[in-house]
Amino acid sequence: MIIFYQTKETMINTQQNAPSTPLPFVSRALRLWGEPVPDGEAGVQAFRSVYTDPVLVNGEPTSLGVLVDRARMLQQAFEGLRHTVVEQFEAPGRLAFAFRLSGRHRGPLVTPLGVLQPTGAELEVAGMDIFVIDEDLDRVSAIWALADYLTLLLQAGAVARLPLAPADQRE
């Protein structure tokens, strides 16, 4: 299923045999990351409606304040921030989804290699999240998250491609 999520509307494009609606935790999470986060403690309370506090992120206990700060940074870094869910899978207590995050790069973006200053370019990053759901609390208790920042940094011209090996040295 492909879901185009924008701040004020949800547009759903379904492929053959795809579910007709997004999975509930995907929709709830994307709304938090895509819509303006309320100021102060209200932002943490909004995230508490989806995630436990703390939540495990890639095995590390993380306060919701850290997630709120990250969401605000993304929203300030991208004008017209969009999330496109490419695939999603659900199993008891687990939810996995692959997505693309995109928008016009208008503010500083924190990446694993440092801060990318605004480029004005339309950028996209691919990612995959696995949610562990605490079904008693109806909350995400752990997240395994991956993002392809290298491709985004290449798009922005912040890193250069390495030269290709001569044809006789390629496998």
pLDDT given for residue 166 in this prediction = 82
**pLDDT tens, 6-52?**
433 333 333 333 433 468 889 899 999 999 999 999 999 999 999 99
How is the chain split into domains, by residue range?
2-159
**pLDDT tens, 107-165?**
999 999 999 999 999 999 999 999 999 999 999 999 999 999 999 999 999 999 999 88
Fold observed for domain 2-159: Nuclear Transport Factor 2; Chain: A, (3.10.450)
pLDDT given for residue 23 in this prediction = 85
Q: Are strands 94-105 and 122-134 parallel, antiparallel or unpaired?
A: antiparallel
**pLDDT tens, 54-111?**
999 999 999 999 999 999 999 999 999 999 999 999 999 999 999 999 999 999 999 9
DSSP annotation string for 70-116:
HHHHHHHHEEEEEEEEEEEEEETTEEEEEEEEEEEE-S-EEETTEEE
5 CB burial (10 A radius; 0-12, 13-18, 19+): buried
